[in-house]
Amino acid sequence: MPGGRGRFALVMLAGAAALVACVTASQPASEPWPTADLQPPYPADNPPSPAKIELGRRLFYDADLSWDGTISCATCHEQKRSFTDPNKTRPGIDGSPGQRNIQTLANVAWFGSLTWGGPHVDTLEHQALIPIEGFVPVEMGFGGKPDGALAKRLAGQPCYPELFAAAFPDRSGEIDMDTITMALAAFQRTLVSLDAPYDRWKRGDKDALSEEAKRGAALFEARQCDSCHAGPHFTDAALPEHKPEEAFHRLAWPAEGKDAGLSRITLRPEDVGRFRTPGLRNVALSAPYMHDGEATTLREAILHHYSDAETEDARLRQTLAEADISGLIAFLEALTDGSFISNPQFVRPPRACPVLSQP
Amino acid sequence: MRLILAALALAVAPVVAPGALAQGHDASSCVAMDARLPDGFADWNGGAAVGTAKAPAEATTLQLGKGYEAGLLKRDDVAFIVEPEKPGGSVSYSGVFAFDVAEAGDYRIALGSAAWLDVIADGKALEPASFGHGPACTTIRKIVVYSLKPGQHQLQVAGNGAETVKLLVAKQP
């Protein structure tokens, strides 16, 4: 079983999570900005291989991973939108409403916590089970279905037995939820976005950013946006020195009956309204925004940060001039990585079985 | 593994019941469904039976403004004209139909599910002019609008969860 899943129970029993304010965690001046070929980390028990990644890509785009064949991972995670979708939330296969906005998968390999409200979900192997088998909400609908139903379905198809054999020779090509989620995770770890104009500017190309975007970048630091949207992945959830639960913050108290965020897991009143900091890579492509998708534009998303008049957080009590907002938007738009959304290695594979490469 | 997911469900349930955070139209707040249908959709619940062809050349021609309960086939039993962007899994259902456009203009295609929809002319899938959910308190799940020229068009439905789907093509008023 991939590492990390068992930690959930410990988090639950502990009642979780000492949550702290974001730290100021900009990239240290001594550390060079990462280049586009930065290798993503992976767990020791799930090293990548070309065959495993190719299998994972096929699974990612295969709607047979949902009970009725209507939803694949890619249904909600569209490459052209940086692997998110344009809806506030997305209904599951049974029509029951989604609960939270779909998140981008850019650079998700570095994330220490992977969902809006659950610091215990700290590996992609574990996360994949939630849409496939989860009940709250129902998404792909395999929860409660006969054990092994998905594995049996895949084993009966022309390509998969051979693909699993190539991807998992150490497991004799076994098809089960472990190998399915391991392959999905291996593919998702290849979704690396580090070649936006802002990256090129940080790496020394002085012409990569407009003057407006440069002004926005300076504002982003001056306003301490980077205290939570920190580091090269623009989230403190991806800071290696952070514990997963340290990436959950409250911008405003939720209204009665609204999503209580982290406290749904920890049951602690002080965690009401805390959600994990989303990454900002390709954020201009991933509207709508916030955990509930209520902000439809970057402007609304920025202003939402300053919407709680009674906040005790000094960073959120500032006022923004229109010029500041436009500068910040220009900066955020400079995080769009065209090579990421057009990368042929991420597209839906042809339906025909692939010619296998070396594992 | 299943214990973990069960624990997750239990952890969430006390605070937010499934479905409590509704998105889009909450049918439970509707006095009656389909009591008020958009112009051109009066026959939405007409339920005329029509079956998909296995090959595009044999596709049944749909009448504009007529509500169908369209019969579909398993994905791999239907020959698509163009591969849908979201073809659905092998266990999902698909169909190929046709309709004639006499007058250039915008045409709305309504489905009773969230299945993928393509309109095809001259062998190419057309870009929709717009798309969105059906109106509140109706069983129309999605409406896709296409700007079409006169001539015959094919209509592909892909990735449907059931063997039939409600379907209606109407000219924009």
Q: How far is B88 from chain A (nearest CA, A)?
A: 5
The pLDDT tens digits of the residues spanning A170-181 come to 999 999 999 999
Query: Touching check for A64 and chain B: CB below 8 Å?
Result: yes
Beta-carbon separation of A69 and B12 below 8 A: no
**CA angle A164–B160–B111, rounded 5-degree value:** 155
Query: Touching check for A9 and chain B: CB below 8 Å?
Result: yes
Q: Return the pLDDT at B12.
A: 35
Q: Return the pLDDT at A22.
A: 52
Mean pLDDT by 10 residues, chain B (173 residues): 41 29 60 92 96 93 98 96 95 97 97 96 95 92 96 97 98 92
Residues 6+ apart with CB under 8 A from A264: A117, B11, B12, B15, B16
Q: Return the pLDDT at A357.
A: 60
Q: Count of A–B CB contacts within 8 Å?
A: 116
Asked if residue A113 has pLDDT above 80, the reply is yes
Distance CA B92, CA A141 (A): 14
The pLDDT tens digits of the residues spanning A223-238 come to 999 999 999 999 999 9
Residue type, B168: L
Asked if residue A195 has pLDDT above 50, the reply is yes
User: What is the pLDDT confidence band of residue A34, given thresholds at 50, 70 and 90?
Assistant: very high
Q: Return the pLDDT at B85.
A: 93
Distance CA B52, CA B156 (A): 10
State pTM to two decimals: 0.87
Among A344, A312, A271, A357, residue whose Cα is nearest residue A17: A271
Beta-carbon separation of A8 and B91 below 8 A: no
Across A279-307, average pLDDT: 95
Asked whether the beta carbons of B148 and B104 are under 8 A apart, the reply is yes
Q: Return the pLDDT at A347.
A: 97
**What is the arrangement of strands in the sheet containing B164-171, beginning at the earlier edge strand?**
B48-51, B68-71, B164-171, B105-111, B142-148, B130-133
Across A340-356, average pLDDT: 91
Beta-carbon separation of B23 and A87 below 8 A: yes
Q: How far is B89 from chain A (nearest CA, A)?
A: 4
DSSP assigned state of A78: B
CB-neighbour burial class of residue A172 (10 A; exposed 0-12, middle 13-18, buried 19+): exposed
3-state secondary structure of B96: strand
Q: Return the pLDDT at A95.
A: 85
Q: Return the pLDDT at A295.
A: 96
Q: What residues in A contact B2, CB-CB < 8 Å?
A: 133
Q: Return the pLDDT at B113.
A: 94
Q: What residues in B contact A70, CB-CB < 8 Å?
A: 88-89, 92, 114-115, 159-161
Residue identified by tokens 């692939």 is A354
Q: What residues in B contact A8, CB-CB < 8 Å?
A: 4, 7-8
Q: How far is B115 from chain A (nearest CA, A)?
A: 7
Beta-carbon separation of B159 and A69 below 8 A: yes
Across A78-85, average pLDDT: 96
User: What is the pLDDT confidence band of residue A354, given thresholds at 50, 70 and 90?
Assistant: confident
H helices of chain A, in order, are 7-14, 50-60, 73-76, 124-133, 149-155, 160-167, 177-188, 197-202, 211-222, 263-266, 298-304, 322-333, 338-341
Beta-carbon separation of B91 and A68 below 8 A: yes
Residue identified by tokens 């019941």 is B17
Query: Is the pLDDT higher at A320 or at A14?
Result: A320
